[in-house]
Chain A
Amino acid sequence: METIDNILLEKDHDVISLSDSNNAVKILLIEDNVSNVLFIKKALEESSYSDATLFVAKNLNDSLKFSEENMMLLLLDINLFHGDGLNDVQCVWDNFPYSALIILVMGAYDEAAFETLKTSRHNYITKNEIDHKILDKTIRFAMDRSITIQELKSANIKLSESEDKLKKANRLYAFISQVNQKIAHIKDQESLFQNACQIAFEFGKFKIAWIGMLDRQNNKINLIAQKGILAGDLTHFKDVQLQNNGPQENIIRSGKYFISNNIENDRLLNDWKELSIKLGLGSCIILPIKKQNNILFTFNLYSSEPNFFDKEEIALLVEVTGDISYALETFEKENQRIEAKINLEYNQSRLKEAQKIAHIGNWELSFASGQAMWSEEACRIYGIRPEENIQSFDTWVSFIHPEDLDEVMKITNEAQKTLSSSTLDHRIILKNGDIKHIHSASKFEFDKDGKPIGIYGVSHDVTEIKRKEEQIIQNEKLFRVLIEKGADMTTLATKLGKVTYCSPSITTWLGYNSEEFLLKYPIDLIHSDDIEDYLKNRNSLLQTPGESFHFQQRRLHKNGNWVWCEGTVTNLLDQPGVNSLVSNFRDISKQKKIETQQAFDRNNLNALINNTNDLLWSVDMNFKLITSNERFDELVKYMSGQTIVKGGDILAVGFSTEQLNRFKISYERAFEGDTFTEVVYSDIPTEFWSEISYYPIREGDKIIGTACQSHDITDKRKADKKLKQSESRLKEAQALSHISNWEVDLLTGINTWSDELYNIFKIEREAVQPSLELFFSFIHPDDVNYIKEMIKKAFRTFEDSFFYAKMDTKEGSPRYLYAEWRFEFNENKKPVRLYGILQDITERKNAEITQEKISADIIQRNKNLEQFSYIVSHNLRSPIANIIGLSTAALDEDLEPDMKKEVMKGLSNSVKKLDNVITDLNNILQTKQEVNQIKEIVHFSKIADDIRSSVINLIKKENAVLHFDFSEIDEILTIKSFIHSIFYNLISNSLKYHQPNVPPLIKIKSIKLKGKIELLFTDNGMGIDLKNKGDQVFGLYKRFHKESAEGKGMGLYMVKTQVEAIGGKIHIESEVNKGTTFKIEFET
């Protein structure tokens, strides 16, 4: 119980299953009182419905959730808390129409119970009475009642259906009978359709009926008749596009009708859905209507009810549409019949008219009667009255022109023989004497056995035609002559461009013969650049008969060239006898060429005139500008700020009055006929030089003006000036520097020398022809060969080079030259030019020599000074120091006698030594001065002999041997005293420093070499350790031999000084204890 309580409390509704069976009877209790629910539940459990399933709802709304549950019984508390009493009962009744209903009331006094009872429609039960028996009974009763009600309901429905069917049948019958009635009376399609719609609406009770006509071209159905569509909705039915596979399209394609019994949910009618709902349409049928076996119409019927169309309905409607189709067929046939009749009448009258217009008459001759019946026009042609239309063969023959009679008879006889159709042309003479040309044709008529029964034919009055023909022929002849003899080309072409005629001049100008040309189309002949315009013009011409257009185009000559043609095309397509597009044109190549040339010349001239930096203008005799180029205009604008127009005053521009006057004079000079050029300077805008040329313009013998050309030569002027300046500066520079330049063109061998080169050689430019030979003639013979070698080498290697040379100066003082050269090569690396400089460097050379001398002198003096200083500090100081020391000792009174003697002796030696040093010093200084002594021829043998004599004692003492050999050369130009000193010092050294116990052997030999003399002094003495002392050998006061203390270190110093003073060199070779050799060289 608790569980149920909870359920009821917590939920609005629930299912309380009294049994487990799924098939149990379903009972719905609508009750908001829990204790009542429990109570009823208990009663049910005890009743015979104990296995039922009890659903409980706490209010009416919740109960509706079970409306689909197929409740057998509903128990409704009429006094629900939120309930509405009897309205609740009606609501439940409506929602559960197939369920039995028991109302739960409070008691018999319950007002609601009364009301329920009043209607006697429902069972009730008072709550306080409920027990299982009453419940059982009441339920059963309620169920019975429910069943009865259901049965009654069903019977009612069936009755109503039968009624409906009857009604429908009536309706359908009315519909079809009405339609058929109308069909019987109506003779036209439009009325039929309109009536069909009307009847469908009125008798068929359709809400809408309309007929659509198929418009195949636009794939549409057009509404042509309707009933029931409000004006506002009409647009939806008009111009309905056929949907592919849509209902209309399907009908037209298949011939089958289309039904939708539920438009709202019909997928195929989606597009109509919205409208259908709006219009309240439930079902529809669309049926095909045929006309002559083609489905051309659809019959559309709409009902407001869904499921409207059943079998009978459909069958009837198919029949109706069949009837309509049949009616249409009938209409058509009738129409055709009427039309045929009208046509016949029409044709007959037209024939008459036609015959009249065409002057064609017809006739029939019956062989049976021999009578001929002539038509009105035939009578008119033959000049007889229409009433006289019965003629005969003979009467006809009487009209024939006598000249044509034989021929006519011949043909008619022939025709009669063969019974074949015939034509003949002949003349007739009318009664009034007029002659007419007749063309007649005849045919035999046969009966069914093939026997000829008559003859019929036409007579055509061709008099006018004949006359016109003749005129045309005449005209055409004239025309042809004109065309064919004319220079212009004429063609005739069809609308499509096919050429039908061309004049013979085509051959002259375009090269084609007629046959070839007739095969051509415009596209074959006209230049691709011109064709588009041509075709455009031609197309618009086709729209405007009689009009022309002008063309100028290139046409293809047979030889492949393009020929410029000019002409017109005229649309004479409508012109009888011409019926063509007529082209007249001529070859304008020559004019075109001239024009092109002229245009080119003009442009070319303009280009030339305007593409120059020169100013070009022309002036007439009134000083007015005739023409000018752009450059001129620009300059005028620049100078004056104004533009000068053609015809403007040329003397009113730009310049100062003074300048303008000068120009005026120049113009006047030109007007006199003078052609001239003058240079004009202007400082506008800046330094501005121009060369103005004047060319008089003549017209016949008369001068009408002058053409002027101004050429800007400012840059040239400046450049010339600069060139001249730099040339003169170069000359000046060359003269100052004594540098000349020269070049040899290696291709022509031409030598070019600058002015300075002539100056260097002191020759006149005009007197000589520059050449290598001329150059060598100025070179000192000593240097010629060496320079020639240099040049030879240069031409082998093509390398830059230089040389120094002495000039061959006949008058004495030597001059020196320096030359330097380079090669210039062309793009093939081939030398093309040798160029260089030649400089007179005598002054520099002399300066250098002087400088060298001074430098050498200064160096020597410096050396001397050093030597002097050395001598003073060493050699002079040495004896002095001794003297000081000794003299101090000498003053010592305690000095022992022996010692005193030694001191005095030392003092004496020191003083002597001092004296020697001073003497040597003097000698050395003397040597320097003697250099300036005059040179003389000195004989080595004489000097050697003199010295031998002077030291003969020493030679004897040492047993020395002296050997001299001056056989090769014995004399030299030099300073004698120096040679003497040299010989003396070297000989005495050899004597002094001999090896102990070895007699000195001294050899002196002179050798003559190229450009020099060599003297060799050899001894077998002690030698000098050159390894250690070599650098000091020739030093002053250098001594190398301890055994020979008397050496002062002066000799070799003196020798070297003196050798060098007279331009020689000395060299020593020595080996200790072997001997020494001095080698002295003198330049000669």
Chain B
Amino acid sequence: MTTTMTASTPLLEARGLTRKFGGVVALDRLDLAIERNEILGLIGPNGSGKTTFFNVATGIYRADAGHITFDGVETTGATSRAIYRAGVSRTFQRSRLSLPLSIFDNVMIGNHKRLNQGLWFNLVRRRAFKREFETNYHAARTLIEVFEPQLAGRMFEPVAGLPMIDRRRIEICRALISQPKLLLLDEPSAGMTHEETTALMDDILQIRTLNKNLAIVIVEHEMGVIERITDRCAVLNFGRKIAEGPYRQVAADRQVQEAYLGVA
């Protein structure tokens, strides 16, 4: 796989991306580029296409028209699995953890591509498997510790009994464990208090300092968060990008204000 990469090639580029659901045009010839190692805020009123964009970018929905390239490779119409293997990871708007499973299990689900999936290895070579298990236990534990040290000692507790904020943290760890190049966060702070949100954003920034080779796209409704942690923003409305740039600039944009508040 050859990549036509230069330092200025965007990590992910969507051009003319269109997706319809029946009569509703969720993405309308969207052009959006995500640069390497940046934190991009994706904002817009409800129904503007943010989650749909994530779903198309991760292969859950096929685009009706347009192209996406990731890391120089065309991924339009690629499967979710291929996109994950290429280095894209995500969280979901509606928290999708496997509730009966333990914290460790849930995080390991995100690590699929780095685990040995062979039948012989898993069933027969138990000593080797144990070594891989222990290595990954420590990796998962270390990651969880960044977000919530209290959970680190409870890695084999079922997720079902944990509060929402812990579940979101675990979901983010699940997305991070495979060391992706691009992390898509879909409303990570939904349902959290202001303090919890601040703590979560601190943790995300910490992840960034530890891992320079990571771009993050974050969908958020709390503008304080966007202002604080993003390098720049893209604003969607009715499936199109209507503004782009640092938060301050975008917040002052007339079109953006109208999109959120309606025409005065």
Bound together: no
Q: B: which residues have CB within 8 A of A?
A: none
Q: A: which residues have CB within 8 A of B?
A: none
